Each structure stands twice: as C-alpha cells, then as structure tokens.
Amino acid sequence: MGTRKRVIVHIDGDGFFAACEIAQNEALRGKPVVAGEDKGMALAVSYEAKKRGISRGMTMRQVRELCPDAIITMAHYDTYAIYSRRMYAIARRYSPIVQEYSVDECFVDITDEQETLKMSYEDIAHAIQNDIHRDLGISVSLGFASTKVLAKVASKWRKPAGFTILTEDKIHEFLFEVPIGKVWGIGPSTSALLQRLGVKTALEFALKPESWITEHLAKPYVEIWHELNGRSVSSVHSEPDHTYKSVMKTRTFKPTTDKNYLLSELSNNIERICRKLRRYNLTAKYLSFYLKTQEFTYYRSEAVLPHATSIPHDFLEVVKKLFPNVYKANRTYRATGIVLGGIAPLTSKQPDLFGESIRFEKHNALYKSFDVLRKKFGKEAVFLASSMKARVTYKKKIEKVEETEERIRQEYPNVGIPWWGNAQ
DNA sequence: TCTGGGGTCCTAGGACCC
DNA sequence: TCTGGGGTCCTAGGACCC
C-alpha cells in the first residue's frame, strides 16, 4: 500500500441468482422471480418480487403466501459461477487489479487506469457497468471511493443499477445517513454493542478517536475505522487464492432423535465431502463434526487423523467412535455437519508407513471408479450402505441440480467451478 | 427474518513448561 | 509442600461474510 490515494470500485450484482435465471430465460423478465426452491428459502429475489414484499431469506411458504404468482426456480450454482466469471472478465477489460470477493461481488482498483485508458475515473466505472448490462443482461450496482469499505457501503446505497460516487468532500454527509450496522464487517453483535455506547451511525463511529476504538473493539474494527475515514489499509488483491483451509458439508433434515439416522446423515456428508476432496485432489488431516439441535445448539467433537486422507472410511471410523460424546437420546436434532481441516494436495506424499500408502492407493482407485459409475449411471448408482437412510430422504430436485452442475462442468471444462461455485 | 450451506479470521483461556 | 511469574502452543467458539 503506497501513500497514494486509491480509486476503488465495488461491483455488486443485483439479485444476482434471480438475475441469472432471467438472463437465461427472457420470458421471466419483468416477472417476480425467486431462486432457491431446492433450499426451501429465497436465496435471490428479482426486483419485481421485491416490490411484492419478498425479501432474501424468506421461506418458500412465505413467498407463496405473499405472491402466489411468483416464479420459483432452483438454484443453479454452476450457471451463476459462469456469469460471475464473465462479469469479472468484463471488469478486467478496464483494470488488471480485480479481486473476486464472492460469486456476485468484486473490487476493482482503477487508480492507474486513468492515464492508460485516457478516460476519467467516472467514465471507466460507467463503462464497466454498461458493458455488464449490455453483454450479460444482468444489472449491477457500483460504489466508487478511496477504500474498500467505503466503496462497499456506497454500492449498497442505491440499488438496482445504482452508481454512487463517494468523493472526499461527501464522505461525512454520506456516512451520516448510514446506520452503523450497515457497514461491512459490523454485524448484529458489534452493532448492538456500539448502540449501547451511543454510536448509531457510521459517521459517529468514524469521528471517534482511535483510542476509543481500540479500547472497546478488536483489531478488525480498527481497520474498518481507518477505511471509513478514507485511509486505505486493505488493498485490492488480484492474485487468485483459491486454496482451501477447510471444507465442510452440512444438511438440515426433518427433526429427529434417531441415532442411526443421524449416523447415516453424517455418513452421507462424509461421502459428499470426500467427492469434493477427490475433485480437487486434496486430503485432510483434521476432522470435526457436529450435531445441531432444534434449539440451534451445536454439539461438536473432533480428532486428528493418523494420516492425511480422502477415504470416506477413515473419517467414518473416527465419527463412529466419537459419536457417543455428542449424542444424547433425549435431544431432538435438525442437522449434522462435517468440517475437515489441514487440507493439503494429494501429491505431497508425506513419509508414511509403507502399508499405509498401499492401502490409500487402493481405496482411492476404488472411489475414483465409483465417481465414474455415478457419472455414467446417475447419482443413485453407488453410495455407502451406511448412508442409506439419509439417501432415501433425498429430494429428486436436489439430484437434478447436481446433474446440471455436472453437465455444465463438462460443457465448460476450462471454466471450472471456482471455489465459491456453491457459495452464497 | 423461527432461521440453508459454505467459508475466514480473531481471541480468550486452558495446558504445559521453565 | 506450597508456591510466583512469564512464555508459548493449541483449541473452542464467537463474529462476520456471501
């Protein structure tokens, strides 16, 4: 970070998933579209649907009550990932410094582009927005400021198709209108704390002395404070860093107390997470899993594996052993999850017991052939017997989404599904 | 906002050692 | 047999994000 003032644009997709569905099917344009059928909740909402009172996070039942004619679609993450790629490619026409923050958001540092492109900053930002609208048929909102935090608050300010420029002289005027909880990085908990301390707006926060901030809050909030005051402490980093530190698979189901059912859900999660490890040629060294109760309490347990692995059996063994530590017959559960850590590439073969690597190779080959069978004969072709109970409750539509993802992966082999391919 | 799924980073506090 | 002070490492879990 030099001392030079940065010029940063934040691009934010408007109702991104719903917008992609519309771009794929023009018949939907102008209609209330809600994506996320398979998740049972609204993951994205078109602006027509928003006008009808629907908002992100609502259950599909609420959606249908509020708006019986809403068009509800499944979430096609693979499609969104491709739109996302295209969107970022357009941004790169105007600057090489693009940080892909998530599937529908990025930061673009255009500080050096004014001279290169012989365009004003404002024209560059407009050009990016117009290109995306024209080439992709989706709309985005733009925020333009000297720091990432300010640019992000600005892009949220007006939607859809917003264009908010935050010049130095307008920062205070603007932050006065922004509730503290709307600032990027300040969530419900910190927002409540600040309210108690008498800070209600982003401006009041920005005007506090640094000593006050460090006295009451942790390090990340000091950074936010600097950025709100126009001092850029977080640069736009364009190097793609898609290395996982952890991976997880979770699923919510009909409330149950059945121990065997919970174990089969965990088994199914393990199968899915191992498929992901194989797809990216990764192994894991740490495992943690949890049971989540009706009251949203988590009971966890974890273990270090004897060696890095991607074999379902190795994880399953550990989970079975630790399961009694977290399970109580008198509790009702609504979800389970598996989280793997210590992620490393498969190729980095650690010095290992000879027999162990042989065993690993054999199992790995076996599961790879399962992958082939599943591709050929469908998702129900092969799965572990221990996952049976969870599998029978699987909805057909979920299968269908997985199929589409696979198809697109084959149609666009060079695009790949980026790490946030199933985010949001 | 009766609440899905997938991530990251930070910190408090216990364990252990000298 | 009862006790100080300090450092480091690790884990659980809080908070936040999309």
Beta carbons of A215 and A200 less than 8 angstroms apart: no
First vs last Cα of chain A: how many Å apart?
30
**Buried-state track A106-126, b at ≥16 Cβ within 10 A, e below 16:** bbbbbbebeeebebebeebbe
Q: Is the peptide bond before A160 cis (omega within 30 degrees of 0)?
A: yes
- Whole-number distance in Å between A326 CA and C5 C1': 38
Q: What is the pLDDT of residue A389?
A: 73
Quick one: which of A32, A26, A62 has its CA closest to A44? A32
Instruction: Protein contacts on strand C: list nucleotides below 7 Å from a Cβ.
Output: 11-18
Quick one: which of A328, A339, A325 has its CA closest to A293? A328
- Whole-number distance in Å between A296 CA and B13 C1': 25
Quick one: which of A59, A78, A70 has its CA closest to A28? A70
Residue ranges in chain A whose pLDDT is less than 70: 1-3, 241-242, 347-356, 374-382, 392-424
- Kind and range of the H or E element at A142? strand A140-145
Tens digits of residue pLDDT in A247-258: 999 998 889 999
The token duo for A11 is: 């691009």
Q: What is the pLDDT of residue A409?
A: 54
Beta carbons of A98 and A106 less than 8 angstroms apart: yes
Q: Which residue is nearest to nucleotide C11 (CA to C1')?
A: A302
State the pTM of this model: 0.83
Chain A residues 259-278 with Cβ under 7 Å of strand B are: 272, 276
- Strand segments, DSSP code E, in A21-76 are 33-35, 44-45, 71-73
- Whole-number distance in Å between A274 CA and B13 C1': 34
State the greatest distance between any 2 C-alpha atoms of chain A, in Å, as a whole number. Answer: 70
- Whole-number distance in Å between A322 CA and C2 C1': 39
Instruction: Write the single-letter amino acid at A205.
Output: F
Site of tokens 């977080």:
A234
3-state secondary structure of A342: coil
- Express the helix, strand and coil content of chain A in percent, nearest 5 each: 45, 20, 35
3-state secondary structure of A192: helix
d(CA A265, CA A253): 9
Would you say the C-beta of A249 is within 7 Å of strand B? yes
Q: What is the pLDDT of residue A419?
A: 43
d(CA A253, CA A388): 14
Candidate list A37, A48, A100, A105, residue with the active-site label: A105
Tens digits of residue pLDDT in A5-43: 999 999 999 999 999 999 999 999 999 999 988 888 898
Quick one: which of A147, A94, A137 has its CA closest to A117? A94
Q: What is the pLDDT of residue A349?
A: 55
The token duo for A142 is: 């733009």
Residue A187's nearest nucleotide, by CA–C1', is: C16
Tell me whether residue A105 is one of the annotated catalytic residues. yes
Site of tokens 């009451």:
A216
